[in-house]
Structure 1
Amino acid sequence: MYNSPLQVGGPAAARPDVTRRRLLHAMMLVTVALALPALPPNAFAAPLSVDQKPTLLRVARDIYPHEGFLDDAPYQAVIDAILLEAENSPVVADLLRKGLADLEQRSQRIYKTSYIAIPRPEEREGVLRSIELTDFFQKIKGGLLMGLYNNKALWPKFGYDGSSWETGGFIDKDFDKIDWF
């Protein structure tokens, strides 16, 4: 009689016991092993340290300085949104970590102190100008641009009444009323 491989005690008995569960587990392990090298090197790194957050706030205030009439709250809201994005994106977190490290390194090299300890705004501006083409600077600047100037709650502080096309455009007497520019 023909000996089928599915018969008990036949050649099939020598094969390992492959179940669907074991196959799925093995496929998952292979997928994870192949995906790990594709992650950024610090994908599991700690978030920004507590002492780096005031530096981000100082950078934000130095990029768009409105010392006379804006408090820290609108700036902090933008920084918090960027930090929240960094929590969910290893790429953004890495960008912030490396950008802050570069900023601090330049501050130490030029002024022998941390960025936040540089006393004169003009000196801090000089350090920022040295990084203004970096992705880090552009990330912060872009967040501030939208977070400050596209925030309708802040428009009155800037002397901006909002869109004028609905009411026929600017009236000449009100056009030049912005005094902070």
Structure 2
Amino acid sequence: MPKTLPQTICLETSGIGIVFHSPWATSNIAQGEDFLTSSFTNPADVAELINSSKIAAFCTGSPGTWRLHLRTDPPDEAALVQAHFKVRLGVEVRDGILQIRDLYELMSWDAACDDEQVIRLTDGFYRVTAYTSPPESGILGDDQEIHLHLEAVPEPARLMHHGVPQLCD
């Protein structure tokens, strides 16, 4: 059963990125297709998808264990200023569903998504603000917290990414 916000999701990734989308945005990907290689490695192709708000994604710089704290309110400005890494994205939600995935899931596509990685949101456009700092160990992805604020907005975010947005360098 999809969850509502606020919510914390623990996401284990093998890849070096995290992807957010509603199922409508990936309905053209065939079961088992390697969408990562065919359509999500060329920076211009990725930028087009990201800037359209069909798919939101960012590079984490490392595989790992990520604690995603998802909320629908604006980010705390002080916390945002203190964060070492931050990125702003947009995503369009349809049918009330947003899926959160490991980037490498795009290598062998399966439209089914683990219930723990699905959240319920009202249909519409969202401005996504993601921010984080290195964990105490200093190792990216070592049980690292990422704060994600999904704010409803009346129209798609005006994004100008020129490739894969970076959350962690």
With normalisation by structure 1, the TM-score equals 0.20
Q: Which has the higher contact order (CA 8 A, sep 6+)?
A: 2
Greater Rg by CA: 1
Structure with bigger strand share is 2
